[in-house]
Structure formats: structure tokens, C-alpha cells
Amino acid sequence: MKVKNILISQNAPAEFDKSPYADLTKKYSINIDFFKFFRIEGVTSREFREAHVSIPEHDAVVFTSKTTVDYFFSLVKELRLELSEDMKYFCTTDQVAFYLQKYIQFRKRKIFFNKNNSVKGVFDLFLKNPEYKYLLPCGADSMATQYADFFKEHNIAYSQAVIYKNVPADIKSSIDITKYDMIIFFSPSGISSLKANYPDFSQEEVAFGALGTGACEAIINAGFELHVQAPTKEHQSITSAMDAFLKEHATRRR
């Protein structure tokens, strides 16, 4: 197996020349292209109502990402809801908390976040406020299971609400997938998109890599072979794992 052309199934970094991907291209004289395999769409108000989740019945909302913040408030607007001034907002990082100011006034009594940006720190916040009924907005393919599991374990009332979904992108008309010797995935949605675009796709000598447990399991469950994975004890980042693989399989090595 020789690798010359690599496809990264997500958007290119804002500053590619300063990214680890650029280092790999120079080190192994390879080509790296970027194309996101899916796009994100918010669920419609009708789809949300069919899930029978009532936002006003909750005391607090948990935000795990900026994406979740955007789609939540877009949905609230579409539903024509007025959120109570007593609603509390728990954010998993300080970046998400500060981003929340785009939609609501930043008041310490309403917004809670873990300054250390650790999962344990967020869990401690929940334990200090076990009386709330939490709403956990999430994507159809990213169910924030670690937070849901925590609420279940500690008997804290909560509801999960799917507010956005991943839709396969049109790969066929945008790129020639047959030219690539390696494809890197970052979520189960990437594998779903590949299969939707190429129902008869045959992996043959194409190396597959993945970042995250979900993406790795999706590759294996789809019947493909997984060659590169992260994070692991040896490789915390996908570029580190790629580097180790390319040392043996790049067409040109230094």
C-alpha cells in the first residue's frame, strides 16, 4: 500500500500553511485535499414537535458547542417561544459561555461554566444544582451521551432534544474519490455520506483513518478496514497517527 493523495473529510483549516497537515505534505511530498462529507441542517419546528419535548418545561439548558447554541436559538425563534428569564444555561467550556452572549445578556446568575474546561468540572456544576430539570440539545449523530449517562447515574431529571442533523453532501459532483489512497473520517456521518454517494464503494487498497471512537466504530461496522486511528496512547491527534502510518506507506519518505 502506497499513499500519495489523501482526502480529509472536513473543511480545510483556516491557516493551512501553519497546520500539522502542511507539515505532512512537506515531510512526505504528498497531496492533501479537504472536502466535508456532510452539511448540518437544523430540524424543522414540525420535526421538533413530533419528538414531544417542551423547552419551557425545563429549568436549564446544557450547551456543548457553539453549533448547538446557534441551532437552539434558531429553533426557539422558529417555534416563537419566549424563554423564561429564570432559565439557566450550563456551558461545557468558557468559549461556549462567552459565545452565548450573542443571544442573551451575560449574567452570572444565569450562565454557568467550568473555567478549567474539564468534563469533571461540568459534572460538578450539575451536582451543585441537582434540582433543575436539564434540557440537553444535540445532533442526531452526536447525542452527548457522556452527559446523558451522568444525569441517569445521579438521578437528575433531563431530556435530550435533537435540534440538528447531518445531511450527506454531494461528493460525486465535487471530487474524484478514486484518486485518493487514503481517506480520513471524523464522525459516523462521514461514513454514512460515503455509502450514500457510493453504495457499491470498494475499499481495496485505500487506507481509512478516523478520529474518535464513533468514527472508528462506524468504519469497522460498515465492513471496512481501519488503518489509522486517534486518539490512542501513542497518538493523541489524527495528524500524529497519520505521520506514523506515512513513515511506512508514503510513496516518498525522508
Mean pLDDT, residues 6-26 taken together: 96
Residues 59-66, mean pLDDT to the nearest whole number: 95
- Confidence at residue 165, expressed as pLDDT on a 0 to 100 scale: 92
C-alpha distances out from residue 72 to 140, 144, 178, Å: 13, 15, 38
More confident residue, 199 or 142: 199
- What pLDDT is recorded for position 143? 66
Q: Summarize pLDDT for 36-51 with one digit per residue, the tens.
A: 999 999 999 999 999 9
pLDDT tens sequence across 71-88: 999 999 999 999 999 999
DSSP single-letter state for residue 102: G
* pLDDT at residue 246 tops 60: yes
Q: Specify the pLDDT at position 146.
A: 87
Q: Which residues contact 4 (CB under 8 A, 6 or more apart)?
A: 30, 31, 181, 250, 251
Q: Which phi and psi (to 5°) does residue 10 adopt?
A: -155, 175
State the average pLDDT for the chain. 93
Question: pTM of the entire structure?
Answer: 0.73
Q: Is the pLDDT of residue 254 over 80?
A: no
